[in-house]
């Protein structure tokens, strides 16, 4: 998930900053973010004390930037303790006061967008303009929750005999946040903003692959006036996440990542009866009817498959095209994808950056090989591209891949690939395609392109997914809830809805007369 703004703004943003720094070893070695301590506790950067460590590798170059120590039990306990301690005062601030801090943070993010985007590219290898786009979207999200914070309230119920009841919406306490690597700054922002707006405090663990910008968010919050201890960051691998989830002083876990890890986290939380929000994987369908505007449908299919190197949870990777237009659709799709520019993510005109890691690239290539063995045909891409800049030789750059002759039972059509692989499937009738679209364990998103209004509404009603796009794909305006059906998750992020997942209701009964007691 990703673009808060409408896709028409893409080109404007791609040229937002003409003076973006050109990627080089010199800049890498000088990067403050790649040398400073990366845990953030009580408003300060600190080093984790764990005896084991992991490597931070820049996907664009494949170069090792540094080793980062894992946070051990003590590091995590200190962060949770700081969050618990600060919760006592932060939760007593009025919503309006909390909102002011968030709104200031949003403005600071906008002022720092190039620095943040630059560092996000260092971590992820995504094109710089996409990173900038993500970060500006996060500023909007934080401002949005800043605006909502003052309006968080309960209800009042008049009862008989002068009695009444009211409800108070209270925070949950200390929230543990755990993020995936595809939108690192966004994960930290989408989780912390509603949590803090409700009066919770947080300990956030980014993916080991992308540790840098969650800490920068901590510094921004600090400058905006957030009390130290409200937002903390611990770095580490899966075990750090496991320790965080099982900590007895964590009241809720909000997680974004894969289904297997989500399931493990839910098990851990079940032991402590902790609240849990899970944003998990997907294998979403995009249905294109023969009456659709074909050019828009092609653009939609590209947005649904190839932004962020295809590493997007809500991607519509099963592209169902009505048989009668399949040939025309494919020709237009290939023509447009062929214009995508692969290479240096720091160049403003790059549209395909580096794949996050060699392991992930191997997984994607494995799916493509397997698809061929199962009878699919690669009509475009799927191979590695070597950028002309020798600096980028260690990065992995995959050309977006289009598969045809796919069937619903193929592994590539059933499993989440999490890479730039589009499977094209054809259909004959609405009833058939809706049944096939829903035939998946996932339910994160779905799309439909048609000019027929009644059909659009019928298909939307029949689709089993948390977000459905009609005549567009992968746009995320601030304020619209996001989350999955089926195995794609539990709970919602974004929108007012998210506040319900970071708060609890206290019902208060007030007696206006004498106690009636039958005993
Ligand atoms: P993972 O599930 O592998 O990891 C996600 C996070 O969980 C990482 O920070 C990871 O740490 C941590 N983790 C791993 N094991 C444990 C554990 N036992 N207890 C607690 N935390 C743990 O997912 P990826 O990072 O590979 O992300 C890709 C997945 O995320 C895809 O399935 C994608 O669809 C999904 N996703 C869902 C989104 C949504 O909103 N629905 C959005 C974006 C991605 P570490 O990496 O350091 O090992």
Q: Whose CA is nearest to atom 18 of ligand 1?
A: 242
Atom of ligand 1 nearest to the CA of 181: 25
Does the beta carbon of 265 lie inside 6 Å of ligand 1? yes
Whether residue 182 has its Cβ less than 6 Å from ligand 1: yes
Q: Is 483 in the pocket of ligand 1 (CB under 6 A)?
A: no
Ligand 1 binding pocket includes 419 (Cβ within 6 Å):
no
Pocket probe for ligand 1: among 257, 265, 283, the residue whose CB has the most ligand atoms within 8 Å is 257
Q: Which residue has the higher pLDDT, 33 or 30?
A: 33
3-state secondary structure 121-161: HHHHCCCHHHHHHHHHHHHHHHHHHHHHHCCCCCCEEECHH
Q: Is the CB of 416 under 6 A from ligand 1?
A: yes
**Is any ligand 1 atom within 6 A of the Cβ of residue 180?**
yes
Q: How confident is the model at residue 31 (pLDDT cuts 50, 70, 90)?
A: low
Residue with the smallest CA separation from ligand 1 atom 19 is 242
The percent of residues in the chain predicted with pLDDT above 90, rounded, is 93
Best mutation site among 126, 180, 314, 465 for ligand 1 pocket (most ligand atoms within 8 Å of CB): 180
Pick the residue whose CA is nearest to atom 11 on ligand 1.
Answer: 238
Distance CA 202, CA 195 (A): 7
Tell me what pLDDT residue 14 has. 40
Q: Mean of the pLDDT values across residues 85-96?
A: 98
DSSP for 380-428 reads E--SB---S-GGGTTS--BPPEEEES--TTSHHHHS---SSEEEEEEES
Give yes or no for residue 3 having a pLDDT over 70: no
Q: Is the CB of 233 under 6 A from ligand 1?
A: no
Q: Kindly tell me if the per-residue pLDDT of 279 is higher than 50.
A: yes
Please, which pLDDT band fits residue 249 given cuts at 50, 70 and 90? very high
CA distance 290 to 455: 12
Residue 466 CB less than 6 A away from ligand 1: no
- Mean pLDDT computed over 21-32: 47
Among candidate residues 78, 237, 279, 365, the one labeled active-site is: 279
Closest CA to 493 of 328, 243, 314: 314
User: Where does the pLDDT of residue 35 fall: very low under 50, low under 70, confident under 90, or very high at 90 and above?
Assistant: confident
Overall average pLDDT of the 311-322 stretch: 98
**DSSP letter for each residue of 409-475:** TSHHHHS---SSEEEEEEES-HHHHHHHHH-SSEESEEEEE-S-HHHHHHHHHH--SSEEEES--SB
* Mean pLDDT, residues 403-407: 98
Does the pLDDT at position 74 exceed 60?
A: yes
Q: How many angstroms is it from 260 CA to the middle of ligand 1?
A: 9
Instruction: Give the pTM.
Output: 0.94
pLDDT confidence bin for 25, thresholds 50/70/90: very low
Angle formed by the axes of helices 184-197 and 128-149, nearest 10°: 0
Neighbours of 6 (CB within 10 A): 11
At 435 the pLDDT is 98
* Cβ 86 under 6 angstroms from ligand 1: no
Q: Two tokens at 358?
A: 């060699």
The atom number, within ligand 1, closest to the CA of 206 reads: 9
Give the range among 16-30, 170-184, 215-229 with minimum mean pLDDT.
Answer: 16-30
With a cut of 50, say whether residue 24 has pLDDT above it: no
pLDDT of 32 reads 65
* Listed residue (45, 19, 366, 56) closest to 184, CA to CA: 56
The pLDDT value recorded for residue 493 is 97
Q: Is the pLDDT of residue 21 over 70?
A: no
pLDDT digits (tens, 9 = 90+) for 152-195: 999 999 999 999 999 999 999 999 999 999 999 999 999 999 99
* Pocket mutation for ligand 1, best pick of 2, 234, 238 (most atoms within 8 Å of C-beta): 238
What separation in Å is there between the alpha carbon of 262 and the centre of ligand 1? 8
pLDDT at 411 exceeding the cut of 80: yes
- Under a CB-based contact definition with an 8 Å cutoff, are residues 345 and 356 in contact? no
Does the annotation mark 279 as catalytic? yes
The ligand 1 atom nearest the CA atom of 279: 41
Average pLDDT, the chain: 94
| 308 DSSP 8-state letter | G
Distance in angstroms (rounded) separating the CA atoms of residues 240 and 510: 45
Is 13 a residue whose pLDDT tops 80? Answer: no
- Residues 412-470 have pLDDT tens digits of 999 999 999 999 999 999 999 999 999 999 999 999 999 999 999 999 999 999 999 99
Q: What's the average model confidence in pLDDT over 43-66?
A: 95
The pLDDT of residue 330 is above 90: yes
> Can you tell me the distance from the alpha carbon of 488 to that of 444, in angstroms, rounded to the nearest whole number?
5
How far is the centre of ligand 1, averaged over its atoms, from the C-alpha of 512 (Å)? 52
Q: Confirm or reject: Cβ of 235 under 6 Å from ligand 1.
A: no
- The arithmetic mean of pLDDT across residues 253-278, rounded, is 98
């Amino acid at each position: 998930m990703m673009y808060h703004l409408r896709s028409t703004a893409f080109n404007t943003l791609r040229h937002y900053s003409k003076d973006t720094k050109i990627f080089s070893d010199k800049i890498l070695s000088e990067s403050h973010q790649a040398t400073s301590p990366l845990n953030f506790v009580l408003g300060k950067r600190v080093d984790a004390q764990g005896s084991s460590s992991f490597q931070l590798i820049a996907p664009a170059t494949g170069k090792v930037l540094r080793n980062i120590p894992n946070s051990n039990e003590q590091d995590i306990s200190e962060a949770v303790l700081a969050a618990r301690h600060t919760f006592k005062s932060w939760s007593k601030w009025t919503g309006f006061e909390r909102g002011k801090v968030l709104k200031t943070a949003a403005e600071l993010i906008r002022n720092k967008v190039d620095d943040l985007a630059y560092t996000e590219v260092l971590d992820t290898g995504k094109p710089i303009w996409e990173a900038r786009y993500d970060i500006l979207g996060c500023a909007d999200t934080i401002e949005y929750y800043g605006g909502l914070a003052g309006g968080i309230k309960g209800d009042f119920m008049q009862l008989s005999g002068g009695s009444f009841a009211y409800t108070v919406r209270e925070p949950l306490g200390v929230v543990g946040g755990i993020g995936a690597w595809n939108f690192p700054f966004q994960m930290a922002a989408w989780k912390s903003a509603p949590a803090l707006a409700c009066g919770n405090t947080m300990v956030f663990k980014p993916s080991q692959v992308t540790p840098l910008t969650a800490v920068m968010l901590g510094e921004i919050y600090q400058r905006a006036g957030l009390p130290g201890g409200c937002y903390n960051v611990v770095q580490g691998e899966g075990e750090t996440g496991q320790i965080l989830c099982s900590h007895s002083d964590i009241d809720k876990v909000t997680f974004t990542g894969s289904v297997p890890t989500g399931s493990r986290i839910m098990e851990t939380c079940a032991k402590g009866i902790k609240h849990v929000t899970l944003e998990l994987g997907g294998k979403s369908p995009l249905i294109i009817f023969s009456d659709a505007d074909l050019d828009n449908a092609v653009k939609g299919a590209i947005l649904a498959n190839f932004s962020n190197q295809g590493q997007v949870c809500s991607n519509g990777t099963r592209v169902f095209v009505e048989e009668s237009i399949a040939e025309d659709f494919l020709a237009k799709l290939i023509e447009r994808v062929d214009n995508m520019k692969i290479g240096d993510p720091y160049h403003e005109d790059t549209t395909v950056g580096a794949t996050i890691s060699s392991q992930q690239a191997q997984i994607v290539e494995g799916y493509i090989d397997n698809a061929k063995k199962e009878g699919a045909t690669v009509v475009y891409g799927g191979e590695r591209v070597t950028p002309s800049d020798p600096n980028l030789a260690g990065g992995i750059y995959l050309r977006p891949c289009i598969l045809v002759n796919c069937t619903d039972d193929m592994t590539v059509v059933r499993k989440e690939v999490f890479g730039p692989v589009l499977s094209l499937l054809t259909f004959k009738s609405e009833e058939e395609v809706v049944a096939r679209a829903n035939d998946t364990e996932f339910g994160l998103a779905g799309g439909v392109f048609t000019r027929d209004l009644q059909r659009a509404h019928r298909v939307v009603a029949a689709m089993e997914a948390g977000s459905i796009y009609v005549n567009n794909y992968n746009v995320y305006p601030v304020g619209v809830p996001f989350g999955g059906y089926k195995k794609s998750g539990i709970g919602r992020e974004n929108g007012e809805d998210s506040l319900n997942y970071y708060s609890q209701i206290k019902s208060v009964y007030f007696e206006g007369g004498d106690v009636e007691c039958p005993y």
